[in-house]
Amino acid sequence: MSDIAFPSSTELTTSEIRVATPDGALYAKRWQPQQASRRSALVLMHDSLGSVALWREFPELLAKATGRAVIAYDRLGFGRSDANPHRLAPSFVADEVQAGFAPLHRALELDDFVMLGHSVGGGMACMVAAAYPQQCKALITESAQSFVEDRTLAGIRAARDNFAQPGQLDRLSRYHGEKAAWVLSAWVDTWLTRAFADYRLDAALRQVHCPVLAIHGELDEFGSLVHPENICNWSQGPCETEIIAGGGHVPHRELPERITGRIAAFLQPID
């Protein structure tokens, strides 16, 4: 990894926007380096229980490390976005391209961009990259699942049992408010259904020709190292992996400087 670094004193401005969709408004936030170049902005896709707030300091660190604008949004039903009036369909990962990303892309007039997704958000980032082959300049996945693995389902069942304990749902309520029970159900009840068992990323990744970086923790409780291997085997462009020895499911929280530095190095030659 090259020693690419931007000074920690890099000044950022932040802005917030609400984006209209047919089913409700999305909340989005942008971190903009004041000296940012015209290079493509990074768009972040959160995980199954995530939100803009749950990225914590990562978007700010990423904007400083890369010198690029960073944009994150809450999917409908999550965080500060409106409640989702529907149950998630088994096709919800692919559906997010038109349900959430497309309205955001139009509202912010993004044109070219880089996708970065964590966990199921990594699958959504792959779908976006496949749907926007000319405009997606690079794809970064972190802890993404390329198919429904037994290890993933075991991790979800363990999390479900933990959230059933008194007071545990309050952890989600801090970020999702009254939508917390829907958020938990959208994860557990969707992934554990037979209708979702055939979920795979191979078809989408075979339409991805941009550079790809697949980040994965060695001890990720929600997916083995077969997933970054699949991502590189199935995507059609140049692909790199970053395996975090001893790492878990959230490398950007466990090792923020290493992850932001690795992403900055990967993106250095990309517009």
Per-residue pLDDT of the chain (271 residues; tens, 9 = 90+): 333 344 445 789 999 999 999 999 999 999 999 875 688 999 999 999 999 999 999 999 999 999 999 999 999 999 999 999 999 999 999 999 999 999 999 999 999 999 999 999 999 999 999 999 999 999 999 999 999 999 999 999 999 999 999 999 999 999 999 999 999 999 999 999 999 999 999 999 999 999 999 999 999 999 999 999 999 999 999 999 999 999 999 999 999 999 999 999 999 999 8
Q: Decide: 211 and 194 in contact? Cβ < 8 Å.
A: no
Domain extent for 219:
12-267
Is position 196 within any domain? yes
One-letter amino acid of 245: A
Is position 2 within any domain? no
One-letter amino acid of 12: L
Q: Is the pTM of this model over 0.85?
A: yes
- Which alpha helices (DSSP H) does the chain contain, by range? 58-66, 92-96, 102-108, 120-131, 150-163, 169-176, 180-191, 202-205, 226-234, 251-254, 256-267
| CATH classification of the domain holding 106 | 3.40.50.1820
Number of domains forming the structure of the chain: 1
Is position 40 within any domain? yes
Is position 3 within any domain? no
Is position 133 within any domain? yes
Is position 142 within any domain? yes
Is position 113 within any domain? yes
Confidence (pLDDT) at 7: 44
Is position 7 within any domain? no
Confidence (pLDDT) at 9: 55
